[in-house]
Amino acid sequence: MFNNINRSTAPLPDTGQWLLLALNERLPQTVVYLLRAHIISLHHYLMLFIMLGFSAFFDCIKGPGLGIGTRYMFVMAVGRFLRTITFVSTILPSARPWCAAARYKIPDHPHAWAQKYYVPYASDPRAIRRVILVDMPYAIVQNYTDYYRPDWAYMNFLIDILRPSAGEGPSWYHLVNKAGGGCNDLMYSGHMFVAVLTAMAWTEAYGGWISVGIWFLVLHSAQREIRERYHYSADCIVAIYIGILLWRVTGFIWSTRDLDQARRLAKLDEVQNRLFHAAKDSDIDEIRGLLNEVEMAGQSKRTFSQGVILSFAAFMITFTLLFVLLAFSLTSNG
């Protein structure tokens, strides 16, 4: 948020980092090198998801409606929204204290909110106790004359959030570069969330040893995120169970495989006596008809036609492109 906090605030104590450092002293160097290796990264997980999505076109997996890819993107959107609410609510110190000074031109004075609600009470126990007792801020916000405020027209509301400096130039491109995740710790890890969603999608579609291998890659990515101090251990752990939970919760929306199987079993129980008598009487036509009823009971009913689905997809793609073009046109002057 500001210069002295980013440089002086120590990272939080992380027992996961301590454990990995302790293992480095005890494990063989070959194992340590393997744990440190960049075997898989974020774009590899996205490629695995794309491979899974395209495999539906070749009847490798069964997916109703827009398929497992739609469910993947929906869960990712919900997870990203929850993640934004989580890390915005509390500013956690970065596991890499040098990050902000290396990436950004940090203003010399704190943000107005930090001046009023944080800085005076950050290190003085008596001040913190006073705020708790009176439940009212008492600090005075200073007026800095060198506060740079460019003219961004419709986007002036972003000035107090992004806090640009004059040396960065008025181009919107430089501000886009600032959207690189920030330097404070972001609870929970977005990279791990994507990795878990990919593993969950593959587990549901295929299962078996392929999914087991992907889960091992997820665990390897988690320990590497902690080892390289891109995230705290809590960020990775929360991302794993949030990804699993959200995928399970949204299962009833798209995944009808278990529902289809339940319908078949229910229908089979219903016609079991008739099927037994038909088999006893050697009535092949009756057996064939009953089995056909069981098969038809397990087929998903199409609630939307193919044309409606394609129209909805075309609308969403067009809306997304127009939204991006509108954002760039409104911010073309800086």
pLDDT for res 64: 43
pLDDT for res 174: 56
pLDDT for res 327: 62
Residue 272 within any structural domain of the chain: no
Residue 268 within any structural domain of the chain: no
For CA atoms 122, 123, 129, 134, the dihedral sign is negative
Q: What share of the chain is helix, strand, coil (3-state, %, to 5)?
A: 70, 0, 30
Token pair, residue 124, equals: 């003085």
The 10s digit of each residue's pLDDT in 236-250 is: 999 999 999 999 888
Asked whether the beta carbons of 224 and 36 are under 8 A apart, the reply is yes
pTM over the 0.85 mark: no
Mean pLDDT by 10 residues, the chain (334 residues): 58 92 92 92 86 63 59 86 89 83 72 78 81 81 69 71 64 53 82 93 84 93 93 94 91 59 75 78 79 72 59 70 66 47
Q: Phi and psi at residue 92, in whole multiples of 5°?
A: -100, 140
Domain that holds residue 119: 1-37+97-145
Token pair, residue 330, equals: 């409104």
Residue 269 within any structural domain of the chain: no
For CA atoms 224, 226, 227, 230, the dihedral sign is positive
pLDDT for res 20: 93
The 10s digit of each residue's pLDDT in 36-54 is: 999 988 888 988 888 877 6
Residue 242 within any structural domain of the chain: no
How far is the C-alpha of 278 from the C-alpha of 290, rounded, in Å? 9
Residue 124 within any structural domain of the chain: yes
Residue 47 within any structural domain of the chain: no
Residue 101 within any structural domain of the chain: yes
The 10s digit of each residue's pLDDT in 96-117 is: 888 777 777 777 777 777 777 8
DSSP 3-state assignment of 209? helix
- The 8 Å CB, 24+ separation contacts for 89-94 are 90/187, 91/1, 91/184, 92/12, 92/184, 92/185, 92/187, 92/232, 93/9, 93/10, 93/11, 93/12, 93/184, 93/185, 94/6, 94/11, 94/183, 94/184, 94/185
Task: Kindly give, in sequence order, each residue whose CB lies less than 8 Å from that of residue 297, ignoring residues fewer than 6 positions away.
Answer: 263, 264, 266, 267
Residue 128 within any structural domain of the chain: yes
Q: Rounded to an integer, what is the distance from CA 257 to the centroid of its chain?
A: 25
Specify the number of domains making up the chain.
1
Structure-token match 């289809």, residue found: 260
300: nearest Cα among 43, 64, 59, 133: 64
